[in-house]
Amino acid sequence: MTPAIQAAKRAGIAFQTHSYDHDPNTPSYGEEAAKKLGVPAGRVFKTLVVACPKGTLAIGIVPVARQLDLKAIARTLGVKKVELARPADVTRATGYVLGGVSPLGQKRRLPTRLDTSARDWPTICVSAGRRGLEIELAPDDLLQLTGGVLADIAG
């Protein structure tokens, strides 16, 4: 059981997990999840970590079929500029490896922004903390568990 699943269980929210055989040669972890689970790519969300000025980190959660708009997330965080965080910094801050970063159960809570398109679905899928494992939950539950904010951050 991953820290993400433990966090969902502790919170008592409704969720489901979905696993699939991960191909280590896949060019896109999120698109692989959508395809193998038979879920629309707009309903599977990827968790990206951005580096803000002064070394702080934040989370952007966007559909796998879209890109994170760095200018938009920077605005919502109240900073001028962000960039994708280095993989080593992502693992150190979240406890997860790239392709398996979950917005739930991270080592420390980071400021989190969830793209507004999540509201188009009753439930969405995000990584459950390892490659080949997704957790499906309501967007409002994800926001509650992460202390996140709904924002227009997908480009």
Of 123, 127, 124, 120, give the one whose Cα is nearest residue 104: 127
Give residue 101's pLDDT band: very low, low, confident or very high (50, 70, 90). very high
* pLDDT mean over 32-40: 91
Rounded CA gap, 4 and 106, in Å? 7
Rounded CA gap, 43 and 51, in Å? 25
Identify the CATH class of 3-151: alpha beta
* pLDDT mean over 47-73: 95
Give residue 56's pLDDT band: very low, low, confident or very high (50, 70, 90). very high
Q: How far is CA 78 from the centre of its chain?
A: 20
Helix ranges restricted to H, 12-81: 29-37, 70-77
Give residue 26's pLDDT band: very low, low, confident or very high (50, 70, 90). confident
Domain ranges, ordered by start, for the chain:
3-151
The pTM assigned to this predicted structure is: 0.94
Residue 55 has pLDDT above 90, yes or no: no
